[in-house]
Amino acid sequence: MANRLKGYPIAQNLHTMSKISFSWGRPGWLKRIRERELVKTGFIPIKLGEYIDRHLENNPDTSRKEIEEGLQDALGAYKQGVRCECGEPIWVIGSAVVEYSCFTCITGEATPDDDLEIDEAC
């Protein structure tokens, strides 16, 4: 096997990969990757107060206090890094009403096409 991998030093050392240290360039590369993992795409951002007003227009039976508390709780959980059971970031608007879950687990849809999300969670 060593002959077949001659000229490929990384491949020759696959069994010791955990001991190899890689230089990935600029400092902070891991932080940037982790931040990208947390970015939710496909949502239309909306301010918290604006969403509450829209929600109350469409759901007059709901109390402002109830929806605001639910959104604040879900937003706080999102900011603390709470994830859905499937591992995806939670959907704050949906999690305010149901349980801490992602868009797909709450709605059954693969992507949020023209769906709203609190801007602080986008």
Domain count, the chain: 1
Q: What is the pLDDT of residue 96?
A: 96
Tens digits of per-residue pLDDT, 24-82? 455 554 454 444 444 567 899 999 999 999 999 999 999 999 999 999 999 999 999 99
Q: What is the pLDDT of residue 3?
A: 45
Is residue 8 one of the residues assigned to a domain? no
Is residue 7 one of the residues assigned to a domain? no
User: Could you tell me which of 121, 35, 34, 122 has the C-alpha nearest to residue 78?
Assistant: 121
d(CA 77, CA 70): 11
Q: What is the pLDDT of residue 40?
A: 65
Is residue 45 one of the residues assigned to a domain? yes
- Is pLDDT above 90 for 93? yes
Q: What is the pLDDT of residue 86?
A: 95
Is residue 32 one of the residues assigned to a domain? no
d(CA 105, CA 109): 8
What is the residue range of 80's domain? Answer: 41-121
Spatial contact of 94 and 103, defined as CB atoms under 8 Å apart: yes
Is residue 109 one of the residues assigned to a domain? yes
Chain mean pLDDT for the chain:
79
pTM for this model (two decimals): 0.67
Is residue 20 one of the residues assigned to a domain? no
Is residue 12 one of the residues assigned to a domain? no
Is residue 110 one of the residues assigned to a domain? yes
